[in-house]
Amino acid sequence: QPQTPVRNLSITEIRPLSQIRFGASDAFGAKTANVAELRRVIPRNSPDGYAIPFYFYDEFMKFNGLYDQARNMMGQALFQSSPLFRDALLRRFQSALEDSPLPAWMTEDVNRLRASWRPNVTLRLRSSTNNEDLEGFNGAGLYSSYTHGRDEGPLEKSVKQVWASLWNYRAFEEREFWRIDHFSAAMGVLVHPNYTGEQANGVGVTTNIFDPAWEGHYVNVQVGENLVTNPEAGTTPEEYLIAELLGGSDEIQYIRFSNLLPRGETILTRTQALDLKIKMDMVHNHFRSLYQPSNWSSWAMEVEFKITDDGELLVKQARPWIFQ
């Protein structure tokens, strides 16, 4: 059955995360709304910034006639029958989108957004759609995020790159498979300062993914900026389960160790692992009250986190865990 994602176009201005609530995911995307909620539960351990709503993407597409271009592209017989031709045309369409101008009022708004930070601050622009980070479908890795450096010119360049990623081949094919309407899909942009030189990055799940009947949180973490979600060839991350025992103490059970460290060393110290567990518990309880799952025992949250260059925990994303 075809799916039509909800997109709320009634919010027409860029907003700080402090003014975005969980229910605004239909206007900014679930990623943005969930990061805004992270700011409420663990404000010292989550990114702060602003978000560009779906309205901007929709107005930009209409201003440049890009919806009509997309329909014409998708109506071609070779587009429908040839994956190679489809990939080539989607790449060309992405380039056309990136080369198209913003309406004058939108350029002014995006320039004001950039002026919210000092000129020497590098920004991270993250995709936030209405067809990812949802219960039952997380869409992880489908869309692209970009770092906007000081020498890259106007911020709108990176905004358009994020918007264009809605039309990459893999994302298009995934929406086709799930019968998600491409013209109801919409892209918001989450903007916050970029973090570099991290000591570690990883994902955590607020359940024992091997057997949810047993207590525990699962953590997968790797050294530096070698993403566990897209690891370099030949690298092995650190994996462990952490759970509170009957006596009140916490036990860490290591599944495997990173091959980027000397034997016997762990990426996270015990103190860092315990701090992460506390924050994951807080995230789990906060979002459980928001999502109101029908079965608490089979519901969990997945978080993406990093240890910054100064050793601080930063939880950069949270979404419902999809049980396999």
Question: Do 168 and 289 reside in the same domain of the chain?
Answer: no
- The pTM for the full model equals 0.93
Question: Do 211 and 162 reside in the same domain of the chain?
Answer: no
Look at the chain and report how many structural domains it folds into. Answer: 2
| CA within 13 Å, CB half, 319 | 24
* C-beta atoms surrounding 209 within 10 Å: 17
Question: Do 266 and 156 reside in the same domain of the chain?
Answer: no
Q: What is the CATH number of the domain that holds 222?
A: 3.30.470.20
DSSP 297: G
Res. 219 pLDDT band, cuts 50 70 90: very high
- Over the stretch 189-201, which tens digit does the pLDDT of each residue have? 999 999 989 999 9
User: How far from chain centre, in Å, is Cα 285?
Assistant: 20
- Domain of 46, in residue numbers: 15-193
Tell me the pLDDT of the chain averaged across its residues.
93
Question: Do 233 and 87 reside in the same domain of the chain?
Answer: no
Residues 6 or more apart whose Cβ sits within 8 Å of residue 72:
none
Last residue of a domain, one of 139, 166, 193: 193
Residue 294 burial by CB count (10 A; 0-12/13-18/19+): exposed, middle or buried?
A: exposed
Which pLDDT score is estimated for 228? 77
H-only helix segments in 115-167:
156-164
Taking the C-alpha atoms of residue 15 and residue 26, their distance in angstroms, rounded to an integer, is 14
- Over the stretch 123-170, which tens digit does the pLDDT of each residue have? 999 999 998 755 555 566 799 999 999 889 999 999 999 999 999 999
Length in residues, the chain: 324
Which amino acid is present at 279? K
Question: Per the domain annotation, does 298 fall within a domain?
Answer: yes
Question: Do 235 and 88 reside in the same domain of the chain?
Answer: no
- Over the stretch 92-101, which tens digit does the pLDDT of each residue have? 999 999 999 9
Using alpha carbons, select from 14, 57, 68, 304 the residue that is nearest to residue 165.
Answer: 57
Question: Do 179 and 205 reside in the same domain of the chain?
Answer: no
CB 172 within 8 A of CB 183: no
Rounded-to-10 torsion of CA 26, 229, 47, 40: 60
